[in-house]
Amino acid sequence: MYAIKDNIELDERLFEHFSSDYTRLMLSSMKLTDEQIDQLVYGRLQIEDSEVINDAANLFNVAKRENRKVMICGDYDADGICSTAMMVDLCQRLGFVTGYYIPDRLKEGYGTKESTIEAALEKGYDFFILVDNGVSTVEVNKKILDCKSRLLIIDHHVISEPVTANVLLHPDVLPQTYQSMCTSGLVYLLCLALGMENDKMLQLAGVATVGDMMPLWNYNRQLIIDALTSLNHSPLLQFSALLDKPVNQYDEGLIAFQIVPKLNVVGRLSDRANVNQVVKYMLSDQKEEILAVAETIKQLNQTRRQLSAQMYDLSKSQITDEKLLIITHPQFHEGLVGITAGQISKETGKPTLVLAQKENSYKGSGRSSSINLHKLLSEAQDHLLHFGGHAQAAGVEIGNEQFSDFSKFMVAGVNDLMEHLDDDVVEVLRIEPQLLHLAAVEEFEKCAPFGQGFERPLVFLKNVAVKRPMHNANRNFSKWLISTGNQEAEVVLFSDCDDSIRNAEALDVIATVTISSFMGRRKISLMAQKVSKSHGN
């Protein structure tokens, strides 16, 4: 539900730094802290010293003196792939004999397994680095240390019980500047401490930070800005080869929609490909090999799109009035449940669990933008086989015999905790079209990167005149050329609408405002969430 606000009080702190009323309005609506305004205006943060990061760096010096062999155990999402590749590259440059392994998502599931450790120990590996997992692998960690091996855990998942390791590198034990960093970001901090950073490490860390939807404040903001600068100067071929077409400029949106899904797809469809090959792809310096693998990944992503669309269609009939949705179907692909959960949660605004039906259990993922899903699942753990993840994204497995009790517990728990969802309202600021001139929007765009914790605000434009409509029914895509005073802009809608809206002479629009570029021409684009025929002021 949208609540339209006709005006807000401008934040006087912004007048010194921003000249356009549009930028002042947008930033005022975001209710920024003094520290956040300083980060927007003054940019770079001072790197903070950390005893934990220094301990992690020193562990490599100790392992080098002891002539240890390194085994890196990673994860199958974009952050896990990038952090694994970063750590392999780092260890090889430090002169270590290095191996790596990411488990099969469907056959082995999340986290390092004892069988992996046993196989590595037999091959003489005795320095284990767990990246993007490790805080919940209690028995595995104990086995590593009991075998007199060294153990470094670099992870950012929620810590629910004490972690035993030689060094734990985790946002919870770092200064405030490094809070809410993903694993690849933490690996980049380690590279900095060792004096081993380079553009490859920077780009991998930046892409993973966008991919894992980390809050874009503190060091995350600086990391992504630096990574985008590097990508726009000389992008890794591994990233540029994944794009559907050449681009003039990399930004956080391009990473999120063009690169990250393709990094994730091999792990998701592990019944069709091996995610360890993506690490090899990231480490390769052979152009022909990189281009060939990129084409394979893009084809696999097309398959993922088709399967995801089928799962979404199967899910829609299970959307109910409950405050939490639990959706399951025998045809669901386990590797794609997170995508479907995200789609349904975004569409409904409700916490959503999408579960694939296995022989003896239900296994899937949850997404939520309104509650701490990890906390709720921790309260339900008596009904679970496994769970883990973050506040907004979690993985879960429930035994067949536990499923009914689990469902009842979750629904009851959400009803107790989320009474406010009945009044869940998104505030949208009404602005006059005349405020949308190119220079003003460009000033606001300089505050990028936008994303988690710093999203472009929604705006409401009333009764904007349509100059020319353009529609593609086959793609559920519509675009209207509108006038915002002295210049043109476009309204873009990626969903279906009826003929009365398609052919309307004037529109009411709720949208985020961006700038698009084509053939060197820049234009204001309103990415619409809701479009309706206008009935005047």
Segment 153-182, tens digit of pLDDT: 999 998 988 999 999 999 999 999 999 999
| Number of neighbours of residue 500 by Cβ within 10 angstroms | 9
Segment 485-521, tens digit of pLDDT: 778 899 999 887 888 888 889 999 999 999 988 777 8
Distance CA 376, CA 187 (A): 30
% pLDDT > 70, the chain: 97
pLDDT band of residue 346 (cuts 50, 70, 90) is confident
Within 66-198, residue ranges assigned H as helices are: 78-93, 114-122, 138-146, 183-194
pLDDT band of residue 455 (cuts 50, 70, 90) is very high
Biggest alpha carbon distance in the chain? 77
Segment 1-21, tens digit of pLDDT: 678 888 888 899 999 899 999
Give bridge partners of residue 479 from the DSSP assignment. Answer: 470, 492
Length of the chain (residues): 537
Cα distances from 375 to residues 393, 410, 522, in angstroms, run: 11, 11, 45
pLDDT at 417 over 70: no
Specify whether the CB–CB gap between 263 and 203 falls below 8 A: no
% pLDDT > 90, the chain: 69
pLDDT band of residue 473 (cuts 50, 70, 90) is low
Backbone angles phi and psi of 267, in degrees to 5: -65, -40
Specify whether the CB–CB gap between 166 and 176 falls below 8 A: no
Distance CA 127, CA 55 (A): 15
Lowest mean pLDDT among 45-54, 196-205, 415-424: 415-424
Segment 63-79, tens digit of pLDDT: 999 999 999 999 999 99
Work out the average pLDDT over 202-206. 98
Distance CA 364, CA 342 (A): 12
3-state secondary structure of 522: strand
* pLDDT at site 422: 46
* pLDDT at site 248: 86
* pLDDT at site 286: 97
Q: State yes or no: cis peptide before 469, omega within 30 of 0.
A: no
Work out the average pLDDT over 448-470. 91
Tokens of 486: 């002295």
Work out the average pLDDT over 121-126. 97
* pLDDT at site 1: 67
pLDDT at 469 over 50: yes
* Mean pLDDT computed over every residue of the chain: 91
Q: Is 177 exposed, middle or buried (0-12, 13-18, 19+ CB in 10 A)?
A: middle
* pLDDT at site 418: 59
Work out the average pLDDT over 94-108. 96
CATH architecture of 51-281: Alpha-Beta Complex (3.90)
Segment 257-314, tens digit of pLDDT: 999 999 999 999 999 999 999 999 999 999 999 999 999 999 999 999 999 999 999 9
Least Cα distance to 186 among 50, 70, 296 occurs for: 50
Rounded to two decimals, the pTM is 0.90
Tokens of 117: 């450790």
Helices (H) and strands (E) in the chain, counts: 19, 17
* pLDDT at site 390: 74
Tokens of 243: 């794009």
pLDDT band of residue 474 (cuts 50, 70, 90) is low
pLDDT band of residue 414 (cuts 50, 70, 90) is confident
Segment 210-268, tens digit of pLDDT: 999 999 999 999 999 999 999 999 999 999 999 998 888 999 999 999 999 999 999 99
Distance CA 7, CA 95 (A): 61
Backbone angles phi and psi of 325, in degrees to 5: -105, 130
Give bridge partners of residue 127 from the DSSP assignment. Answer: 70, 150
**Domain assignments of the chain as residue spans, ordered by start:** 2-43+426-533, 51-281, 310-423
Please give the CATH superfamily to which domain 2-43+426-533 belongs: Nucleic acid-binding proteins (2.40.50.140)
Distance CA 99, CA 96 (A): 9
* pLDDT at site 301: 96
Please report the DSSP string for 306-347 in residue order.
Answer: HHHHHHHHHHHTT--SSSSEEEEETT--GGGHHHHHHHHHHH
Query: What CATH fold (topology level) applies to the domain 310-423?
Result: Diaminopimelate Epimerase; Chain A, domain 1 (3.10.310)
